[in-house]
Structure 1
């Protein structure tokens, strides 16, 4: 059964065509490493980030498809969840909180979701103030640490790019051994195989590319600074 067939099952189980009903099914059936659960949560939040004009445009669907590949014949399922999210009266904060609770015992998945939301916000090449507000709201709902926030934003916005320790979530006085240990842990957590094991759909593993690049650059810079200081 494909990912999109699984999503269709959740849509059918919801019965009532509302995002609230769909999310209740997702929360009730939530299972570790379930691609459909991750995908529905992400689609719902990304739709809430879209312009609140009451419509889902083809451009918005294309932007989502830029990093979350889906067959053309499955676009209707993505559009349906988008429509449910945009028609629902509840705001972004409520669903961000629900997603935070859904994956509360799996914080690395919440970091993956926030990483994806950054991709969506920057789909048009610009980070709008309102989008940044929603990203920060999601980070708060997901209990994202300052170190995690700096690391993710660095991958997308270049923030803190001059401070490698901020990107790695470390203080500058860590030992060489601690620096190396933290780096290898981040690399392992960001590896595509690890993401798939967490339930991130294979179509989405490329979200790790920007994060991995930021981590590698920060580590190399930290090592170079330490060698220069000797």
Structure 2
């Protein structure tokens, strides 16, 4: 592919002469190189590889997270079974998911090589990393408490994925707040005791945020969790069903804030 070099060189020559030609060729070369990389990443073969890596990494880390505190609770087993059920996996895929979960829960399991392979396969896409981490956060919250061992395991995973502790803590707060709206189907309803503070926390903004910034934060979250976008990035279609449930929680939180502010 040479279009970048051709255009860059021509423009450089016209504007700066021979020196511009050299600069334009270099800039064009870098453009062509980046374009080729993008096209390769978006190829059907590579997307299939990312989906497989996402699937395997999710269930390996789920087993690791479930065993982080020394034992696997009934709630964690139920949560994993719910995930598998909602995904509508085939018998073969279900067997594979359970086997991966067991591997991850082994005493000698180490997440470092698993996450390294995932990052290599996914190209380090931020949204894929964030979606993967949210899956593990939801498992940790399955029994409604996150103990010290689970916190440490989440921190280990987060750092390996490139998130710092402050980012992890914000994601935890958002996930916990979004849980208050889970199942409300995007309506203004929420579980009893849910507050306006929970709604702001679910969107990751403060109560002092202005209307414009509020809408921007809401739209960003909805875009990040849009099914088509997640599938295009390599999240398996079956897992998107679960990931995008969060959009309904975000919608419900936003509706509560809109109502309180008298916004349309």
TM-score by length of 2: 0.58
Q: CA deviation at 1:136?
A: 4.0
Partner secondary structure for residue 242 of structure 2: helix
- Deviation per CA, 1:89-131: give whole Å up to 9, x if none: 2445x367637844573121122112222333355x4435133
Which ranges of structure 2 fall in alignment gaps of 5 or more residues?
1-44, 182-193
Q: Does 2:242 align with 1:187?
A: no
Aligned partners of 2:53 and 2:118 also within 8 Å: no
Which residue of the partner structure matches residue 152 of structure 1? 175
Whether contact under 8 Å (2:54, 2:235) holds in the other structure is yes
Q: CA 1:182 to 1:83, structure 2 compared with 1: closer, same or farther past 3 Å? A: closer
- Against the structure 1 CA distance between its residues 171 and 55, is the aligned structure 2 distance closer, same or farther, given a 3 Å change threshold? closer
Correspondence for 2:158 among 139, 148, 151: 139
The 1-side partners of 2:55 and 2:150 are apart by: 20
Q: Give 1:81-120 correspondences, 5 Å limit.
A: 81-87=100-106, 89-92=108-111, 94=112, 98=116, 101-102=119-120, 105-120=124-139
Distance 2:76 2:197 in 1: 33
CA contact 2:177–2:199 (8 Å) conserved in 1: no
Tell me the distance in 1 between the aligned counterparts of 2:242 and 2:135: 7
**Aligned pair 1:225/2:241, yes or no?**
no
- 1:50 matched to 2:66: yes
Alignment partner of 1:41 is 2:57: yes
Residue 258 of structure 2: SS of its match in structure 1? helix
Please give the alpha-carbon distance, in whole angstroms, between the structure 1 residues aligned to 2:118 and 2:170: 18
Greater Cα offset, 150-159 or 37-46: 150-159
What's the C-alpha RMSD, in Å, of the aligned pairs? Answer: 3.9
Greater relative contact order (Cα 8 A, min sep 6): structure 1 or 2?
1
Shift of 1:169: 2.3
**Residue 38 of structure 1, CA deviation:** 0.6
Match of 1:121 among 113, 118, 140: 140
Between 42-51 and 104-113, report the one with greater CA deviation.
104-113
CA distance in 2, matches of 1:44, 1:152: 21
TM-score (norm 1): 0.65
SS of corresponding position for 2:262: helix
